[in-house]
Each structure stands twice: as structure tokens, then as C-alpha cells.
Amino acid sequence: MGLNLRDKYLNFYSSDDSNLSIKERYLTLSRSFLIIMLLVTIVPLSITTALSYFQYRSLIRQETINNAQWNAESTRQGIESFIDKLRAMIQVVSESYRYKDLSVQENLDKVFENLKSKNKGIVDLSVIGPDGVQQAYSGPFNLKGKDYSDSPWYQKTLTRKVYVSEVFLGYRNVPHFVIAISKKVSGENGYWVLRASIDTDTLDQFLAGVRNENLVDAFLINSKGALQSSSHNYGNVSSQSPVSVERLPKNKDILTVENKQGSKSMVNVVARINESPWFLVLEQYGYADKKTWVLFKRELLVIYVVSFVVIICLTFFIASFLTSTVRKEEETREIILAESEHANKLASIGRLAAGIAHEINNPLAIINEKAGLMKDLLQVSNDFKYKDKFLMQIDAMENAVKRSRTITHRLLGFARRMDIKLEPVDINSVITEVLGFLDKEAAYQEIRIDQDLQPNLPDIMSDHGQLQQIFMNIINNAIDAVGNGGIIQISSRQIDTKTVRVDICDNGPGMPPEVLKKVFEPFFTTKKGSERQGTGLGLSITYGLIKKLGAKISASSEVGIGTTFTILIPIRSVSAEGGTDR
């Protein structure tokens, strides 16, 4: 109940933080703004950045896998085509010649030369009879008469009719693979075999041709992981590679696996070479080492960091701007509330004062008349011993009544709500008139009044009488403050097109801040006990009048230096009550 408007206002804004100082409250507000704004900016920025990162990573990863698969697929098709071509060549020879014809060395040599001219990878050509013994041989090695009846490739050729072998060393002890075709010997039960040996360098050269900037290694392996071509990473033919084909399902021709080799991400593709015992293995760099991905990551990081810094700076700026705006608004509201509170207080006190003055004036009038009558009677009565003393007492009573009357009349003046009579007023003239009233008083106390009035001040629309009252009150106060030998300086200036400023400075004792902030309060006086006792209403009335005229008053003071009252009067006066120009 005892809270004033300002407290209520402050509590309204910070019911839970009432123990916090204003500075802490604004700090909390600023911090809240900052956190909220950072949340609504940084979080979406981070989410967008993360989404971009993962989405692009997914795209580039898929692209890398697709690229590796496409490479593997095209390489596989190339190898299959190469094998098909060799097989077709051998098949054509087997179809074109009879066993007997090819068993003749000269004929075989001719055919070999012909094949060799078409494919340099063919190392030799041989004819194996139904007994498994080589009947004719064209090539660099001395293999004629060799018995292959127990060789796995020979057995498989007989079974499958056409056979492409794994890479092996054989009798020649040189890595090679064979393409063999078995045919029935015409007129007999047995089968003869036409066999071509192919140098594994052919495969190496073929695989070397498919290398590109992303490709790390391309090689062939058999079902057990043994190299069928040389490998950049795992050595030469017949060495064991770490790649296992067990994970490749029977019904699938291609398998892609992502893994890491040290700090590098890799994509390994294993593809089955159809109608051969081989599997193609391609090892490519993964997406993580691709230039586009590295570049994208760098750009994304730069954009994120720059955006983050910009957002932080902007957020700090906006948070401080908002806080200072809110603070200014609150301060303005506080001032308005305080002024409204002051005006309400003045109005209440005014009504109270009017009532009190009326009630006191009647008994005062009775005292005054009774004392007066006593004086009248004494004056017509004969002299008696204490007549003069009686008369002196009555004079004292009358003086006391006069003093009381001054007080009650001031109280009524405080309460009075006179209409403002607007007219063109020359401020300098008003000040000069007021000084005319106070000249004698000042001279009596040897007070010097310096005037620094700007000539040709524009006339203002205001109330002449009320302005007189205002200056009278303030200059009177200054005279009381400076005492004997003091100095009062009065200046007037037009500070802009709308305002005239009047300063009244005195070199009196000054006021400490706690006194200064109460000078416009009703019944606040510093003249208690002094010769010229105050009612504490002078400056309060002045304040009320100034507000009524739409003007502003402020006071500054320093103990031991003096006090300055500054009045800002609008050139076109505005009624504070009506709030409109008249």
C-alpha cells in the first residue's frame, strides 16, 4: 500500500528481480536479448551449415562410389571383351583346322604367327592330343612332348570345352594364363585340346590404361585373393592380396566397400569377370580426399565463421541498442510518472491547503478583530500603568496574525487554479519589473544583482503575471540564500527557435544533493529558524506555475559554490494541462 508510483512501476517490470539493482537489471535484460538473438540466429545458421555439410557429403560420397563402380564396370567390360576376343580367335582356329592338320608343326607355326600378329599377348600356341601329351608347340619355350594329362587346367578344359585358366607358372616357370578349347578328334573317341598361353603383362598393360587421378590401384585376383596381375600396393603376380571375395554374393557381379587406409578414405570395388576365374579390384580415393570436398569444407567453414562473427557483432550491437532504447523509454516513463506523482501531490496538497486555510482564516479573523477592538478601546481609554505594554502586546498579536495570514494566503495561492492569460510577453521586461520590486531589499542587504539579458529576445506567448510570480519566487529565494554582500547573476538567452532560457545563479551556501532533489516538494524549506522563515511552498508554487505555462525548471547546486535555477520557456507557450497550443 505504501509503494509510490515509481516503485510500483519498477516492480511491474521486475517483480522477481526486485532485489537487483537497476544496473544489474539492465545487464540481465541485455544478456537475455543477447542469448535470445544468438539462439534465433546461430542455431539456424548451425543447422543450415550442418545440413549443407551432410547433404553435400552424401552427394559427393555417392558420386565417388558411382564413379568407382562405373570405372570398375567399364574395366570389367574391357577385360571381358579382351578375353572374349582371345577365346574367339582360338575357337575359330579350332573350328577351322582339324587335329591332324594342326598337329603338323609347320601348320601350327603358321597359325601361331597369324594369331601373334593380331594379338601380341599370345606367347605360344600348342596342340595337346587325346592322351594329354603335347603334339605340337609354337612358341619360345621347349615344351613339345610335355604331358598335361594331370594338369588341372587340362582336366577343366576337357570338362568345360572352353577354359580360361588362372595365372600360373607351369613348366616354363613364367607367369601366364591359358585359353584352351577341347574338340573331339574326328573318327575317334578322344578329345584334342588347342591351347594358347597369354602373357600376364598383357593384363597389366590393360589395367594400367584404366588408371586415373582418383584410382590408387587396379588389379585382378582369383577367388582366394592371389594376385593375377601386378598390383601397385600388394606386389607382383601370385602374391597374396588382403582382398577377399567371400563378401561378394553369388548373384551379384559387383561389390563396393568403403574403408580407411591410414588417414585416407578409400572406396574398393570388387567386380566378377564373367567366364574367367578372376575378380577385378579397383581401389580409389574416397570422397574425403576429393579436391571438391576439401574446397567445399573450407568454403563452408569460412562462411560459417564469418557469419558467426558478423552475427555476434550485430547481436551485441542490437542487444545494446535495444537495452539502451528500453532504458531510455523506462527513464522517460519514470520521469513522466514522477512528474505526474508530483502534480498529483501538489493537487492533493492544494485541496488540503485550501481547506486548512479557510478553517484557519476564520479564527484568525476573530483574533485579529478582538485584538483590534482591544487596541481601539485602549486608545480611547485613559492612561494606566501598563497601557503601553498592553498596546505592545496587541501589536505583537496583530503582527502574528499578519504572519499567519501571509502563510494562509500563500497556501491558498498554492491551491488556486487561475486560468492562464496568454499574451505576448517580453521576458527581459518581466525580469526588470521583478528586480524593481526587489531592488530595495537587495540594496538593504548589499546584494549585487548582475544582469546579462540578451537584447532583442523574441516576445513569448505566456502569462505575464504568472511569470512575474515565478521570477519573484526564485529571485527572492536567491536573496535569502546569499545573505549580506552576496551576488546574484541573472541571464536570458534564446537557445533555439522555440525556447528562451533564463538562468538565476547565486553564490550562496549551495545545497547538498539530498536537499536539492527536494527543493520543489511542497512544505520543504531550508529557512526554518531563520529571520525570513519559509512556508516551503514558494518553489513548489513556482514549479506548478512553470508546468502550467508549459515551461521547464531545473536546479543545480554545489555546496560552498552556489545554486543555479534554469528555466526553459517555450516561445509559443503550451498549457501543460490542456496540452495544446493556444
365 in contact with other proteins (CB under 8 A): yes
357 in contact with other proteins (CB under 8 A): yes
SS3 helix, strand, coil % of the chain, rounded to 5?
A: 50, 20, 30
Contact segment (CB under 8 A) with other proteins among 272-280, 405-413, 532-540, 545-553 equals: 405-413
Contact segment (CB under 8 A) with other proteins among 62-70, 171-179, 410-418, 468-476 equals: 410-418
Q: Quick one: which of 360, 516, 555, 568 contacts other proteins (CB under 8 A)? A: 360
465 in contact with other proteins (CB under 8 A): no
x/- contact string, 417-436, with other proteins (CB under 8 A)?
Answer: -x------------------
Q: Quick one: which of 247, 403, 409, 517 contacts other proteins (CB under 8 A)? A: 409
Q: Tell how far CA 116 is from the center of its chain.
A: 75
- Cell 587325346 belongs to residue: 130
354 in contact with other proteins (CB under 8 A): yes
If the CB atoms of residues 78 and 372 are measured against other proteins, the closer one turns out to be 372
367 in contact with other proteins (CB under 8 A): yes
If the CB atoms of residues 347 and 365 are measured against other proteins, the closer one turns out to be 365
468 in contact with other proteins (CB under 8 A): no
3-state secondary structure 225-294: CEECCCECCCECCCCECCCCCCCCCCCCCEEEEEEEECCEEEEEEEEECCCCCCEEEEEEECHHHCHHHH
The dihedral built from the CA positions of residue 568, 572, 578 and 580, taken in this order, carries a sign that is negative
Residues 537, 412 contacting (CB under 8 angstroms) = no
362 in contact with other proteins (CB under 8 A): yes
- Cell 571381358 belongs to residue: 80
Q: What are phi and psi of 72, to 5 degrees?
A: -65, -45
- Cell 486608545 belongs to residue: 379
366 in contact with other proteins (CB under 8 A): yes
94 in contact with other proteins (CB under 8 A): no
Q: Quick one: which of 57, 116, 405, 552 contacts other proteins (CB under 8 A)? A: 405
Residues 476, 538 contacting (CB under 8 angstroms) = yes
What's the rounded Cα separation, in Å, for the pair 279 and 271? Answer: 6
369 in contact with other proteins (CB under 8 A): yes
Contact segment (CB under 8 A) with other proteins among 211-219, 255-263, 406-414, 520-528 equals: 406-414
If the CB atoms of residues 402 and 448 are measured against other proteins, the closer one turns out to be 402
β-partners of residue 226 are 240
If the CB atoms of residues 201 and 398 are measured against other proteins, the closer one turns out to be 398
3-state secondary structure of 496: strand
If the CB atoms of residues 160 and 370 are measured against other proteins, the closer one turns out to be 370
Helices 291-380/5-13 angle, 10° precision: 170
Q: Quick one: which of 12, 15, 187, 380 contacts other proteins (CB under 8 A)? A: 380
Q: Quick one: which of 260, 403, 416, 498 contacts other proteins (CB under 8 A)? A: 416
- Cell 540594496 belongs to residue: 443
Q: Quick one: which of 412, 435, 453, 516 contacts other proteins (CB under 8 A)? A: 412
267 in contact with other proteins (CB under 8 A): no
Contact segment (CB under 8 A) with other proteins among 19-27, 86-94, 108-116, 414-422 equals: 414-422
Helices of type H across 455-537: 464-482, 513-516
Residues 538, 414 contacting (CB under 8 angstroms) = no
Contact segment (CB under 8 A) with other proteins among 47-55, 80-88, 320-328, 366-374 equals: 366-374
351 in contact with other proteins (CB under 8 A): no
Antiparallel, parallel or unpaired: β 162-164 and 176-184:
antiparallel
Biggest CA pair distance of the chain: 193
352 in contact with other proteins (CB under 8 A): no
What 8-state DSSP symbol labels residue 454? P
CA atoms within 13 A on the CB side of 134: 22
198 in contact with other proteins (CB under 8 A): no
Count the residues of the shown chain that bind other proteins, applying the rule CB under 8 A.
27
Minimum distance of other proteins from residue 371's CB (angstroms) = 9
If the CB atoms of residues 362 and 580 are measured against other proteins, the closer one turns out to be 362
Q: Quick one: which of 218, 401, 460, 539 contacts other proteins (CB under 8 A)? A: 401
β-partners of residue 503 are 491, 566
466 in contact with other proteins (CB under 8 A): no
413 in contact with other proteins (CB under 8 A): yes
What 8-state DSSP symbol labels residue 458? P
If the CB atoms of residues 175 and 522 are measured against other proteins, the closer one turns out to be 522
If the CB atoms of residues 378 and 574 are measured against other proteins, the closer one turns out to be 378
Q: Quick one: which of 188, 331, 376, 558 contacts other proteins (CB under 8 A)? A: 376
Q: Tell how far CA 410 is from the center of its chain.
A: 61
**Closest to 541 (Cα-Cα) out of 436, 409, 431:** 409
Q: Which residues have C-beta within 8 Å of that of residue 554, sequence separation ≥ 6?
A: 565, 566
169 in contact with other proteins (CB under 8 A): no
Cα distance from N-terminal residue to C-terminal residue, the chain: 40
Minimum distance of other proteins from residue 533's CB (angstroms) = 19
CA atoms within 13 A on the CB side of 212: 11
Minimum distance of other proteins from residue 340's CB (angstroms) = 25
CA 254, 257, 261, 263: dihedral to nearest 10 degrees?
A: 130
Contact segment (CB under 8 A) with other proteins among 367-375, 485-493, 556-564, 574-582 equals: 367-375
Q: Quick one: which of 115, 282, 415, 434 contacts other proteins (CB under 8 A)? A: 415
* Contacts to other proteins by CB under 8 A: 354, 357-362, 364-370, 372-373, 376, 380, 401, 405, 409, 411-413, 415-416, 418
